[in-house]
Amino acid sequence: MTRHVYALPLILTALFLLTISQAWAGEGKVLDIKEVKSDAGLTAWLVEDHTLPVIAFKFAFKGAGSSNDPADKQGLTQLLSNTLDEGAGEYDSQRFQKTLNDNNISLSFSKGRDDFYGSVYTLSKHKDTAFTLLKLALTAPRFDEDAVERMRAANLARVRSDLSNPNWKAARIMNDVAFEGHPYALNSGGTISGLNAVTPDDLRQAAKTLLARDNLYVSVVGDIDAQHLKALLDDVFGGLPEKAAVATVPDLVVQNGGQTVLYKEDIPQTIINMMQPGIGREHPDYYKAMVMNFILGGSGFGSRLTEEIREKRGLTYGISTYFYDLAHLKGYAVGTSTKNDSVAELIALTQKEWTRMRDEPVTAEELKNAKSYLIGSLPLSLSSTSQIAGLMSSLQVDGMPIDYLDVRADKIEAVTIEDVQKLAQSLLTPDQMTVIMVGNPEGVTPTKVVDTLPNVE
């Protein structure tokens, strides 16, 4: 499973210095990102900095996420992410992990619904060892029976632990209801039966078919130059299959709009999740949507929802909005909780604020504050090599241009009051939200009551 080597405090210092020395380097540039192409045609984005001897290496395999899991083997890619570093080549699990720890190397894999991810953090002097182990993990994973069983047991324990978490239950039901009939409705973390059904041969086949050169995106930050990176790309990834065989996933809009679904549970507060169709980062109006979201509920304290529902009425500890941006589905969502006897009032107030945002212009002060925060907060997201490499990787996978960060501030600054209202009028549908409740709410009549959690067993 994902591991972190905590003997890397040096990285944090390096990242701060990296931000100072590189983040604002170059006229008009947020990051001095260079595209590097290897002799074999593999590409990577590189932010080079030699202030301290540290390398952060992030990569993603597009389309290789849990949407590839068969319905009867939900959790296949989850287990794959947990076992790739459990021994490879001549290294069994114990020796592989000991070598990482002895050299202060952090190597991990993870999966999303859409994509499969990996990362390496290493001191420069240990880079040969780090990238040898990464190469072996990708091209010669062992999937030994004892390691697979250990990771299977850990995942089964996680699933059973999640069953005591009402927030997890609400999210699980939302996936089932809002993404009904789609691969996104399945349990990306795995079901009990699905995890038990996955075999080492399934993992070997998944590694061979999902992880390839044609769906690979690489981002690197730190103490390495373009020439060394070119050679590294071919050495580490050159042995992967040329083409991946990922699932064809259809596009989807949020399902069951206007429906209210309840999972009854005897708890003092009801968890409430709401979702409607949204837009993603590639949409031409996304900058306008960022500003609208900040004002409506994305900014926490100071947002309209927090002001009206928490500050004025004390109905919740917290309420927030966010864009749910997947490759094949774009949603706009709300998450909150409240006392059981306040559920109806909170939902009504949320819908009222949705309507007010759509029907009334935001104020000049709201617009100014939103722009100021969204532009000024970017450097805070670039305070570590991990964050920088992660942001670069997400931009690559989303198909954003290499100068995305350089034009971001101007795009946000250009948003007007009229832009926000026009976007809100076209996007917000307060009467068509899919609402999920977990608890024992009063004064609300659900359209459906769920008795059994979907895609768990």
Give percent of the chain above pLDDT 90: 91
Give 28's pLDDT tier (boundaries 50, 70, 90). Answer: low
Compute the average pLDDT of residues 29-46.
96
- The values of phi and psi at residue 82, to 5°, are -85, -20
With beta carbons less than 8 A apart as the criterion, state whether 47 and 392 touch. yes
For the ranges 69-83, 225-239, 371-385, which has the lowest average pLDDT? 371-385
Question: Does the pLDDT of residue 161 top 70, yes or no?
Answer: yes
Confidence class for position 380, pLDDT limits 50, 70, 90: confident
The pTM for the full model equals 0.93
Only one residue has tokens 């389309």, namely 63
Cα-Cα-Cα-Cα torsion 271, 301, 365, 391, nearest 10 degrees, comes to: -80
Residues of the chain with CATH 3.30.830.10: 9-237, 260-449
Among 18-32, 220-234, 365-379, the range scoring the smallest mean pLDDT is: 18-32
Q: Which helix (H) or strand (E) holds 288?
A: helix 286-293
Kindly tell me the sign of the dihedral angle through the C-alpha atoms of 333, 339, 343, 348: negative
Q: Residue 222 is encoded by which pair of tokens?
A: 């730190």
Q: Contact at 8 Å (CB) between 103 and 126? A: yes
Whether the per-residue pLDDT at 20 is higher than 80: the answer is no
Burial of 268 (0-12, 13-18, 19+ CB in 10 A): exposed
Beta strand 54-61 pairing with 116-123:
antiparallel
Q: Grade residue 24 by pLDDT with cuts at 50, 70 and 90.
A: very low
- The distance from CA 48 to its chain's CA centroid, rounded to whole angstroms, is 25
User: By the 8 A CB rule, do 210 and 244 touch?
Assistant: yes
Pair of tokens at residue 271: 């968890």
Q: What is the pLDDT of residues 91-140, one digit of tens each?
A: 999 999 999 999 999 999 999 999 999 999 999 999 999 999 999 999 99
Long-range contacts of 164-171 (CB under 8 A, 24+ apart): 166/265, 166/267, 166/271, 166/438, 166/439, 167/271, 167/438, 169/263, 169/265, 169/271, 169/438, 169/453, 170/263, 170/271, 170/272, 170/273, 170/436, 170/437, 170/438, 171/273
- How far apart are alpha carbons 284 and 286 in whole angstroms? 6
What pLDDT is recorded for position 18?
40
Angle between the N-to-C axes of helices 364-376 and 404-413, in degrees from 0 to 180, rounded to the nearest 10: 170
Q: Is the pLDDT of residue 16 over 50?
A: no
pLDDT for the residue 449: 98
pLDDT in tens, 404-448: 999 999 999 999 999 999 999 999 999 999 999 999 999 999 999
Mean pLDDT within 191-207: 98
CATH of domain 260-449: 3.30.830.10
CA distances to 5, 54, 101 from 384, in Å = 16, 11, 21
Q: What is the reported pLDDT for 19?
A: 42
DSSP 141-152: B---HHHHHHHH
State the pLDDT at residue 66.
Answer: 98
With a cut of 60, say whether residue 22 has pLDDT above it. Answer: no
- Tell me which of 135-139, 164-168, 214-218, 379-383 is least confident: 379-383
| Residue 260 near residue 443 (C-beta atoms within 8 A) | no
To the nearest whole number, what is the mean pLDDT of the chain? 93
**Weakest mean pLDDT among 250-254, 357-361, 381-385:** 381-385
Average pLDDT of 297-319?
95
Architecture (CATH level 2) of domain 9-237: 2-Layer Sandwich (3.30)
